[in-house]
Amino acid sequence: MNREWLLNAALLAGLVVVPGWAVWADEPFTIMLATRAVIFALAAAGLNIALGLGGLVSLGHAVFFGIGGYAMGVLASHAQNYTPLYDGVFTIQGTKSMPVIWLAAAVTSGLAAWLIGVLSLRTSGAYFIMITLAFGQMAYFFAISWPAYGGEDGLSIYVRNGFPGLNTLDPIQFYGLCLAWLCLVLWGYARLRRSPFGLALDSARQVPDRVRAVGLDPRRLQLVALVLSGAVTGLAGALFADLNRFVSPSMLSWQMSGEIIVFVIIGGVARLFGPVAGAVFYVMMEHWLGGISDYWQIFLGLVLLAVVLFGRGGLIGMICGKGRPDA
């Protein structure tokens, strides 16, 4: 097996060993950091579907992250206040069950991705970037000005939601759930890029005219990629809100969109484990540099600038050699 495969295996092993050590050493904070990294990696793995495979530079993925977060917040807050979410022709109750919340998060953020995609895929290139950024800002301002779910202050949940058979209040068990999701999505990503859809999508990125000439619509392929991408990032948003037991408009901010794209790029765009490497690196920088200096984001900016200008292919690309991985 090649170097990238070894590196991926090492990253995965690290995600198992380090939190395992933290349990043994009774370091719950390390487990929390690892959970944060895994959830960011999941959000970025979602973006990698649109960006890495589809070539869609979405600068609005915080919308899906935030919608996932609010799906959790809204359902759980209704459940903890014993008020129905909707009480009309039929009744929808809130819930504290993670599987239901996950489903709601993925479906609503997937729908949002569909809506944004239908509009923004009418254009391409620089327009697409600006439009996704703009719709992100729209969601942000809407969340701030809509008072029902906390507005600017956000929404808190008293107790983390539950999963059948697990104690989600135990940090390592919740971490296990997040890691399981990450592994499942990475497995799906690996399958996706070798699938018929993956081939068509990759071609739509490189040669859209050809894709049309063989009878496929590149825009529809890209739209489906964006929906899948948004749903995965939305799922990550639900987990992130559950980790913090809190959701606020900041999950929808343009900075969040920027960070998700930074995870992908620092790690290595279109690489299977690029989002993982990027998210782990980011959380480590945030923790260590943030402890040294309040202005640690200057260093983050410099690192990002260096990666973009000189080290194309991200961390994984620098270690394993250039070029896109063969699909």
- Considering only residues 252 through 311, tell me which ones interact with another protein, judged by CB under 8 A: 254, 258, 261-262, 265, 269, 294-298, 300-302, 304-305, 307-309
| 3-class DSSP string for the chain | CCHHHHHHHHHHHHHHHHHHHHHHCCCHHHHHHHHHHHHHHHHHHHHHHHHHHCCCCCCCCHHHHHHHHHHHHHHHHHHHHCCEEEECCCEEECCCEHHHHHHHHHHHHHHHHHHHHHHHCCCCHHHHHHHHHHHHHHHHHHHHHCHHHCHHHCEECCCCCEECCECCCCHHHHHHHHHHHHHHHHHHHHHHHHCHHHHHHHHHHHCHHHHHHCCCCHHHHHHHHHHHHHHHHHHHHHHHHHHHCEECHHHHCHHHHHHHHHHHHHHCCCCCCHHHHHHHHHHHHHHHHHHHCCCHHHHHHHHHHHHHHCCCCHHHHHHHCCCCCCC
Judged by CB, which is closer to another protein: 72, or 264? 264
Question: x/- string (CB under 8 A) for another protein, residues 145-164?
Answer: xxx-----------------
Judged by CB, which is closer to another protein: 3, or 220? 220
Q: Which of residues 209-238 bind another protein (CB under 8 A)?
A: 209-217, 221, 224, 228
Q: Which of residues 7-46 bind another protein (CB under 8 A)?
A: none
- Report, in Å, the least distance between residue 188 CB and another protein: 7
Q: Which of residues 169-188 bind another protein (CB under 8 A)?
A: 188
Position 123 contacts another protein (CB under 8 A): yes
Judged by CB, which is closer to another protein: 16, or 324? 324
Number of amino acids touching another protein (CB under 8 A): 73
Judged by CB, which is closer to another protein: 18, or 107? 107
- Where does this chain touch another protein (CB under 8 A) — which range of 8-16, 30-38, 197-205, 232-240? 197-205
Question: x/- string (CB under 8 A) for another protein, residues 86-115?
Answer: ------------------------------
Position 3 contacts another protein (CB under 8 A): no
Could you say which of 198, 234, 274, 317 contacts another protein (CB under 8 A)? 198
Could you say which of 22, 34, 41, 51 contacts another protein (CB under 8 A)? 51
